[in-house]
Amino acid sequence: MSKISLHGFNNLTKSLSFSLYKLHYLADDNAIAAYNAYIAKRFCADKLNVLLTDICHAIGGNVLNVAMQDYQPQGASVTLMISEGEQAQPLPKYLSTSLPTKLPAQLPADLVAHLDKSHLCIHTYPDDFIQDSLSNNIAIFRADIELSTCGVISPLKVVNYVIDTFNADVIDIDYRIRGVTKSSQGGKIFIDQVLNNISDHISSKLLAAYTVENNNLSSQNIFHTKLCKSKVTLKDYFLKYNQVKLTKIHSSEIKIQIARELQQLYTKSV
């Protein structure tokens, strides 16, 4: 097995973490069954592998090896071995001026990708899709993603891609830099880029859809940004919105319920 050269290696570890929350309104058992079917079809291990590979390419990494497994009754795992590469692939371009209207909800899954001394992982946490477990018929889906890199590649390159792909309602993003590397003159370096806020790396198109708050400990190289959808649009919370018959009163009640849930997730308070 050939070794990967680390000559001139940047010893800083840069870790980017996402907690992404998406809500869906499930009115009855039929809606729950449809949702489960949608998740199982669209987010098997093959699809999760594509997601990780896109993230790998977005930061300029190369996939060395892939292992993946689906589980019964549900769930999937994917592992990628990755090396830092010179041939970065561009992020997908936005095809319209509006955000996607549906979140690609996922199966419970653990994914790990290693970038010579770094890693990429995703864990998903859906609600139990049974009627009695839902709060006001609202299912909360959460996906946690963490990308840690060493070397010159920056995890911040994938911020827009992850937000756009998941179209989550509430997002917590953490970025932290640890370790020490040296300049060509021998001086110590604890951060290798100018950074004020994570939100500076989010496109104006995405920011327009969210309320944004930054909370940083810059002296410790710890940065945190949280986002919450600023407008509740009902079609974003139904898988088959065109087939749903709602009165104006019922629509208003559902909007209030969803807005309340979003605020609780955003502020971490009930």
* Residues marked as catalytic: 118, 123, 150
C-alpha 231/C-alpha 166 separation (Å) is 17
Residue 115 three-state SS: strand
Query: What is each CA distance from 203 to 77, 155, 206, 233, 245, in whole angstroms?
Result: 31, 15, 5, 21, 35
C-alpha 71/C-alpha 45 separation (Å) is 9
Instruction: Read off the tokens for 234.
Output: 């009902």
Query: What is each CA distance from 22 to 151, 186, 237, 238, 250, in whole angstroms?
Result: 33, 47, 9, 12, 21
DSSP β-bridge partners for residue 119? 114, 148
